[in-house]
Amino acid sequence: MRVSSRRLKTGLLLGATFFAGIGVVPLARLAAVQLGVTPARAEVENGNADTYRWLTLFGDVFERVRRDYVDPVTAKRLVQNALDGMLSGLDPHSAYMNAQQFRDMEVQTSGQFGGLGIEVTEDSGLIRVIAPIDDTPASRAGIKAGDLITAIDGKTVEGVPLSDAVRKMRGPVNSAITLTIKRQGIDTPVVVTLKREIIHIKVVKDRMEPHDIGYVRLSQFTEGADAGIKKAVAQLKKDGGGKLRGLVLDLRDNPGGLLEQAVAVAGDFVNHGEIVSTRGRHPSDSQRWDASGHDLIPGVPMVVLINNGSASSSEIVSGALQDHRRAILMGERSFGKGSVQTVIPLPGGGAMRLTTARYYTPSGRSIQDLGIAPDIKVAETAKKLAHFGPAHESDLNHTISNTGGTHTAPPRPDLPPVAGSIPARPPKDFPKFDPKHPTKTDFQLLQALRVLDAMAATSSQHAVAKE
């Protein structure tokens, strides 16, 4: 997302001010000097007399801690802790990153990094798993979306910043790490020992299902997501001898990623029109992204699978395809992260990840805290499982509000008749999911294939009738 030069420059100046305020000059007075005004004039010009008072308080606390804390503490540590608190206290997705954390983030979005292969977030002092990444130590060890990591190598994560916990989970290749997990439906701790690997994220997988229906799984929106989707669809066309009757796009447990990749992936199936828009605090920062490509499979029916682990970019794609009536959404309500974060580099090599806008689907929906509701609701399991931690954005602390848009999708009169016969849950005797036999043991996928088969048959009948 574009950030105006005015706002970026202001962010850099304030960052420099906080770092410079380590000397003997009180922090608030130094801030005023760097801005080129006296404290009194700054108060008048800014129309906020409290600013100087709060900066003075910060400077007083800073000096008292540095002078009287039981152990010596560096100014760098104090300032970084203050920046951590300033940003993380705004919402669950804003954060300060030091130079190492910033480099780690850049590596991760490139699609290759070292570690266990899990997307995590902070949750009431613990670490909650958003989703394991396919074919990684975490997924092979059976770590699940919604798991709460309570300890790393036997030491609690309570009070440990999320960035530090992530760093502890990374390390030399083949080194062992033990995670203690609190899992829904299980009363005793789950202890898992894994070996770290270099994580090469293969974000797109494809296979041909029965009746010439293709299946594409997108696990994350990294830099290679769009290219991977194009390659997968081309391969499915080839495997089907040019005959592709339907397509399942699986976005379950996809925690999101890069906004531009979400726009590109949605544009792979929508010929024209809006994909997503963003609205920030400043009107000049509002933007709209339209489809710029062409539908890779025009006329081929699609089903998109979503669940509570589908977040951010996954919700942008799902919402766009739903609003354009290009695909039927099946599964369960998505996570509900309807905000955009801008990464702004700071002096010293670090950066701030700041929530700068809300995004809206083509019909004007804000899904913040609400998520995307599927057109056909299908649960994963026969029995509803209780969650230890939050299952949706609305369960997190101090989330931003849902404002400025509508809250429900337009009616779908185009749903096929078979939609009314899809059960909301699998039968009690339905087998447990087996990754070696995914089609037979994935109830949501089975229902998606059923819907697509019926839609493809109807399309064929219409084509014959026209001839």
Concerning whether 323 is annotated as a catalytic residue, the answer is yes
Q: Give the bridge partners for 352, in sequence order.
A: 96, 344
Concerning whether 337 is annotated as a catalytic residue, the answer is yes
Concerning whether 206 is annotated as a catalytic residue, the answer is no
Give CA–CA dist 31/460, Å, rounded.
Answer: 70
Angle at which helix 39-46 crosses helix 27-34, to 10 degrees, equals 70
Give me the phi and psi of 466, to 5 degrees please.
Answer: -70, -35
Catalytic residue among 337, 369, 375, 442: 337
Q: Give the bridge partners for 51, in sequence order.
A: none
Dihedral of the alpha carbons of 243, 244, 245, 250, in degrees to the nearest 10: 170
Q: Match 């030491």 to its residue by tokens.
A: 155
The per-residue b/e assignment along 374-394, b for 16 or more CB within 10 angstroms, e otherwise, is bbbebbbeeeeeeebbbbbbe
Helix (H) or strand (E) segment spanning residue 68: helix 50-68
DSSP per residue, 79-117: HHHHHHHHHHTT-TT-EEE-HHHHHHHHHHHTTEEEE--
Catalytic residue among 250, 285, 323, 453: 323
Give me the phi and psi of 334, to 5 degrees please.
Answer: -75, 180
Residue 128 CB-density burial (10 A; 0-12 exposed, 13-18 middle, 19+ buried): buried
Catalytic residue among 88, 312, 314, 318: 312
Q: Which residues are catalytic?
A: 312, 323, 337
